Amino acid sequence: MENLTHGSLFSGIGGFEIAAEWSDIPTLWNCEIEPFNQKILKQNFPNAKQYNDIRKLQQPEYVDIISGGFPCQDISVAGKGVGIKGGRSGLWSEMWRIIRDTRPKYVIIENSPALLIRGFERVLCDLSEIGYDAEWECFQATDFGYPHKRERIFCVAYPHKDNVQTVLQQHREISPISKEASTELRRFMSVEWVEGLTNYRTITRGNGLPNKMDRTKSLGNAIVPMIAYYIFECIKKHYSLQTNS
């Protein structure tokens, strides 16, 4: 089976990138507009080509998997609730454009669970328009052993096929995280988050140290890499079944 490749949109500090790395899927490029996050990405993923503004991104190199958590400010219950037509969350249209032009084998979309009532039908219709089917599931960090809720919706899309099998049911037995992967995880998460000294209600509160506040600010909207790792493993197994059938 050929190796899958990955490209990341709205990359943040690289949660999808490190999950792809755990799954032995190379990230060929990422796209992130925040300068601080760009530095983190460059430091930890020096071999990935870096783009900074999705609105200016045209025809990136082909990858098999495109991931992205487009901005949730207009969707989240913590925001004003204007939905996917808002100025920030409306950047979904740019992600859709990249998917349409690149046509990867798989797409991973992450967002607030409130997307289900504030624009998810738009996402599904847009994907269907370019010939993609989709499935989705809400995951909480507690499902993966972390001491904070952090619920997010994850949608996996793929080109329509008559014989397609579901992706997210392919790998229910999650492989234990290795010691090496755990060390990598600590590069992206504060010690308090990993070791359970805080929870999802207090993770965004600083402790008075400016550098810690910077890290926590960057982590505020970051995905839990272990969830993304699970999804990448599901995709790998699904792709193997599809190519060998």
Six-digit token string for 57: 């991104």
Rounded CA gap, 16 and 158, in Å? 18
Cβ 190 vs Cβ 27: under 8 Å: no
d(CA 43, CA 41) in angstroms, rounded, equals: 5
Q: Which one of the listed residues 72, 125, 155, 234 is annotated catalytic? A: 72
- Token look-up 């690289």 returns 14
Which helix (H) or strand (E) segment holds residue 67: the answer is strand 65-68
| Closest by Cα among 27, 39, 117, 111 to 66 | 27
Tokens, residue 74: 């207009």
Annotation says 72 is catalytic: yes
Give catalytic residue positions. Answer: 72
